[in-house]
Amino acid sequence: MPTVIKNGTLITASDTFKADLLIDGEKIAVIGEGLETEGAQVIDATDRYVLPGGIDVHTHLQLPVGVTESSDDFYTGHKAAAFGGTTTHIDFAIPNKGEPLRKGIEAWHRKAADKAVIDYAYHANLVEWNDAIIDEIPSLLDEGVSSIKALMAYKGRLQIDDTGLFRTLQKARDCGILTMVHCENGDAIEVLIQQARDSRQLQPKYHARTRPAWLETEATLRSIALAATADTPLYVVHMTCAGSIDQLRYGRAHNLKVMGETCVQYLFFTEDDLARPDGAKWVCSPPVRTKSDNEALWRALQVGDLQAISTDHCPFLLDGTRPIEYEGVPYQKPGKELGRDDFSKMPNGLPGLGDRMIILWSEGVAKGQLTLNRFVEITATNPAKIFGMYPRKGALAIGADADLVIWDPNEKKVYGQALSKQRVDYNLYEGWEVTGWPEKVLRRGELLVDGEQWFGRAGSGTFIRRAPGMIL
Ligand SMILES: [Zn+2]
């Protein structure tokens, strides 16, 4: 039976208009006024906004890290995402050392297949480089993967040196694959971490002190310069500071094809949070920085210096010595307590996949920092365009997947762990009063969330094969 969403206000990246929307099967079939509803299921969206489902292009579900793994899998993470208004995400498929990139993709398909509820895709992720791996890059397109990430940090583990990064950029250019880069100077960071440990500076705040903003700023410019020289597009992940934004702006001012994202946590939190007794909650890389960096990121989102906002969702239990329950099932894995006595042993990462749209709407749209259209642009439309899913995803258009959020702009709630569906034992936004709420969420026409009710079925999410994307 077709579904008609009646009387809503549709929000796209460029327009705001009242219309009905008819869903036939998995697709948006008609958008228009006064649509016939006979024989259709009707969803009344009076006083509601209708937006494209959110797309989070930076997540790590069930990511192995040392003796543990990130605590959300492709079911729990997807449930949290859906309740937060996100209907598609892109995870990083990471091979073991010694394996081709394809093995990472196969491993991630095994994690996702039986569990997925929302739609998903992968970025390839380098963990080392050699001639064989560089030569493998074009074949990623056959796997439906059109982006690859290199990390300039995590020396001795994941760090790719400049030779490897430059050769990746050149190879990616030749086949239309987008290179993504984690910009931090891993060599200098390694020195600082060793010095902090030698002088017994082991609390979480030293996590930030040993990864200073200058080392992100420097690596950002270096990656931009390498991309410029290779004449290829670049996407800088999780930008945290004013200095990095300056470098991105500099590159864009020179007509380079460079783009960037920030993550929700970098808009709000600072080193002061790391210094709290529960500072472990905020340990992620790059680290949270200063108030003026928060403000620079907001500005960059508003004026278009940044093109997207993601989460780098990679949660770990704050206290992994105690089991939690999820849907009545106990869950326990080592977590942040691994670094209780030494920040350098703490798993890096924090939750956010379910929080992103709610917090950004409340702090951005409801408080007048972001227009409705800009919200849609940076949470859905640009991510779909950059990563080769547009207009199937990220659009309210005929023929697009019916991934929709019916958003109640007037609902007020006190946010936190009790409302978030993330499988973890804390929420960074605990006690925040939020305005606006994703009331109903549909993925390819199927109602996943209706208020408090959950209809999502494990295994119903689809892998989205991606083509080369657009340069924004
Ligand atoms: Zn990440």
pLDDT at 37: 86
pLDDT at 224: 98
Q: Are residues 339 and 400 in the same domain?
A: no
Give the helix ranges, DSSP H, for 241-290.
242-253, 271-274
Strands 119-125 and 147-151: parallel
Q: How far is the CA of 412 from the centre of ligand 1 (A)?
A: 31
Query: What are 369's two structure tokens?
Result: 């920092």
Confirm whether 221 is domain-assigned.
Answer: yes
Distance CA(305)–CA(290), nearest Å, equals 19
Q: How far is the CA of 237 from the centre of ligand 1 (A)?
A: 8
Q: How far is the CA of 469 from the centre of ligand 1 (A)?
A: 20
Name the packing angle between helices 291-303 and 242-253 (round to 10°): 30
Please give the C-alpha separations between residue 60 and each of 65, 237, 323, 351, 453, in angstroms, as whole numbers. Answer: 11, 13, 21, 10, 26
Q: How far is the CA of 252 from the centre of ligand 1 (A)?
A: 23
Q: How far is the CA of 18 from the centre of ligand 1 (A)?
A: 38
Distance CA(215)–CA(253), nearest Å, equals 22
443: enclosing H helix or E strand: strand 433-443
Distance from the first to the final alpha carbon of the chain:
38
Range of the domain at 30: 3-51+374-454
Confirm whether 169 is domain-assigned.
Answer: yes
Q: How far is the CA of 350 from the centre of ligand 1 (A)?
A: 10
Q: How far is the CA of 25 from the centre of ligand 1 (A)?
A: 34
Confirm whether 233 is domain-assigned.
Answer: yes
Q: How far is the CA of 72 from the centre of ligand 1 (A)?
A: 14
pLDDT at 390: 98
Q: Are residues 192 and 283 in the same domain?
A: yes
Q: What is the DSSP string of 7-69?
A: EEEEE-SS-EEEEEEEEETTEEEEEESS---TTSEEEE-TT-EEEEPEEEEEE-TT-EETTEE
Q: What is the reported pTM?
A: 0.98
Q: Are residues 213 and 332 in the same domain?
A: yes
pLDDT at 155: 96
DSSP bridge partners of 42 = 4
Confirm whether 267 is domain-assigned.
Answer: yes
Q: What's the CATH number where 419 sits?
A: 2.30.40.10
Distance CA(155)–CA(356), nearest Å, equals 30
Give the closest residue to 446 by CA, choosing from 82, 55, 68.
82
Q: How far is the CA of 44 from the centre of ligand 1 (A)?
A: 38
Q: Are residues 203 and 143 in the same domain?
A: yes
Q: What is the DSSP letter of 425?
A: S
Q: How far is the CA of 142 from the centre of ligand 1 (A)?
A: 24
pLDDT per residue rounded down to tens, the chain (472 residues): 899 999 999 999 999 999 999 999 999 999 999 998 899 999 999 999 999 999 999 999 999 999 999 999 999 999 999 999 999 999 999 999 999 999 999 999 999 999 999 999 999 999 999 999 999 999 999 999 999 999 999 999 999 999 999 999 999 999 999 999 999 999 999 999 999 999 999 999 999 999 999 999 999 999 999 999 999 999 999 999 999 999 999 999 999 999 999 999 999 999 999 999 999 999 999 999 999 999 999 999 999 999 999 999 999 999 999 999 999 999 999 999 999 999 999 999 999 999 999 999 999 999 999 999 999 999 999 999 999 999 999 999 999 999 999 999 999 999 999 999 999 999 999 999 999 999 999 999 999 999 999 999 999 999 999 999 999 9
DSSP bridge partners of 329 = 326
Q: How far is the CA of 229 from the centre of ligand 1 (A)?
A: 25
Q: How far is the CA of 91 from the centre of ligand 1 (A)?
A: 9
Each residue's pLDDT tens digit, 141-180? 999 999 999 999 999 999 999 999 999 999 999 999 999 9
pLDDT at 283: 98
Q: Are residues 417 and 320 in the same domain?
A: no
pLDDT at 420: 97
Q: How far is the CA of 6 from the centre of ligand 1 (A)?
A: 39
Q: How far is the CA of 58 from the centre of ligand 1 (A)?
A: 6
Query: What are 323's two structure tokens?
Result: 């089991």
Q: How far is the CA of 60 from the centre of ligand 1 (A)?
A: 6
Q: Are residues 28 and 155 in the same domain?
A: no
Q: 87 near 119, Cβ under 8 Å?
A: yes
The four Cα atoms 30, 31, 32, 36 give a dihedral, to 10 degrees, of 40
Distance CA(176)–CA(44), nearest Å, equals 43
Name the packing angle between helices 162-175 and 213-230 (round to 10°): 40
Q: 255 near 245, Cβ under 8 Å?
A: no
Number of domains in the chain: 2
Q: How far is the CA of 298 from the centre of ligand 1 (A)?
A: 20
Q: Are residues 37 and 79 in the same domain?
A: no
Question: Is the bond preceding residue 391 a cis peptide, omega within 30 degrees?
Answer: yes
Q: How far is the CA of 324 from the centre of ligand 1 (A)?
A: 24
pLDDT at 181: 98
Q: Are residues 123 and 255 in the same domain?
A: yes
pLDDT at 183: 98
Q: Are residues 186 and 269 in the same domain?
A: yes
Q: Are residues 336 and 390 in the same domain?
A: no
Q: Are residues 191 and 339 in the same domain?
A: yes
Distance CA(399)–CA(355), nearest Å, equals 29
Confirm whether 156 is domain-assigned.
Answer: yes
Give the closest residue to 93 by CA, choosing from 109, 105, 81.
105
DSSP percent split of the chain into helix, strand, coil, nearest 5: 30, 25, 40
Instruction: Give the dihedral sign, CA 152/153/158/163.
Output: positive
Q: Are residues 46 and 107 in the same domain?
A: no
Q: How far is the CA of 57 from the centre of ligand 1 (A)?
A: 10
Give the closest residue to 209 by CA, choosing from 296, 312, 317, 283.
283
Distance CA(95)–CA(84), nearest Å, equals 29
Q: How far is the CA of 286 from the centre of ligand 1 (A)?
A: 9
Distance CA(23)–CA(37), nearest Å, equals 11
Q: How far is the CA of 441 from the centre of ligand 1 (A)?
A: 26
Q: How far is the CA of 59 from the centre of ligand 1 (A)?
A: 6
Confirm whether 366 is domain-assigned.
Answer: no
- Over its C-alpha atoms, the chain yields an Rg (Å, rounded) of 21
Q: How far is the CA of 235 from the centre of ligand 1 (A)?
A: 13
Give the closest residue to 26 by CA, choosing from 445, 377, 470, 359.
445
Distance CA(205)–CA(16), nearest Å, equals 44
pLDDT at 340: 94
Q: Is 68 exposed, middle or buried (0-12, 13-18, 19+ CB in 10 A)?
A: middle
Q: How far is the CA of 63 from the centre of ligand 1 (A)?
A: 10
Q: How far is the CA of 231 from the centre of ligand 1 (A)?
A: 25
DSSP bridge partners of 198 = none
Give the closest residue to 84 by CA, choosing from 72, 92, 95.
72
How does the average pLDDT of the chain come out, rounded?
98
Query: What are 197's two structure tokens?
Result: 């440990």
Cα 86–Cα 53–Cα 367 angle in degrees, nearest 5: 80
Confirm whether 327 is domain-assigned.
Answer: yes
Q: How far is the CA of 378 from the centre of ligand 1 (A)?
A: 18
Distance CA(334)–CA(350), nearest Å, equals 14
Q: How far is the CA of 36 from the centre of ligand 1 (A)?
A: 46
Q: What's the CATH number where 245 sits?
A: 3.20.20.140
Q: How far is the CA of 52 from the centre of ligand 1 (A)?
A: 24
Q: How far is the CA of 149 from the centre of ligand 1 (A)?
A: 9
Q: How far is the CA of 312 from the centre of ligand 1 (A)?
A: 5
Confirm whether 467 is domain-assigned.
Answer: no
